[in-house]
Amino acid sequence: MKTREDLVNLALSLCYADGGSGQDADPEDFSFVNNLVPSVLSSLDARKVYPYGDVDEIEDAPFTYLATCLAYTPAVAGRFGASIDQAAVMEAERMLREINAETFSYQTAKNLYF
């Protein structure tokens, strides 16, 4: 499981030209991106790309794709002078949809009585 802090740090490393070079982000930069997490995740949820729950318990499978979506939002990319990689965002959203896709077993549903 990954945390919101991990998500923000990965998004920031995608925005920095040098990949972040192992340095911690400036507190102002971290705070800026951290404050955008709810709106980005809410947008993905509203558009039926990926539902989210607890942002401090992010599963490993969607983690990098969520960070990509966060990093390449216009507000984040614009702040760091990064160009928005639309192809990367589209691929991330496609993968998030795939991860979230329901798989049907075509089995008869069993009723549970309490």
Q: What is the DSSP string of 57-109?
A: SB-HHHHHHHHHHHHTSHHHHHHHTPPP-HHHHHHHHHHHHHHH------PPP
CA–CA dist 72, 78 (Å, integer):
9
Q: How many CB atoms lie within 10 A of CB 67?
A: 22
pLDDT value of residue 113:
67
Query: DSSP code of 58?
Result: B
Mean pLDDT across the chain: 87
Instruction: Locate 33 and state its tokens.
Output: 């991106």
Q: What is the pTM of this model?
A: 0.84
pLDDT at 3: 95
> Residue 15: pLDDT band by 50, 70, 90 thresholds?
confident
Q: Is the pLDDT of residue 17 over 70?
A: no
* pLDDT, tens only, 60-69: 999 999 999 9
Task: Tell me the per-residue pLDDT of 27-52, one tens digit each, with 9 for 90 and over.
Answer: 999 999 999 999 999 999 999 999 98
Query: Which pLDDT band, with edges at 50, 70 and 90, does 103 fall under?
Result: low
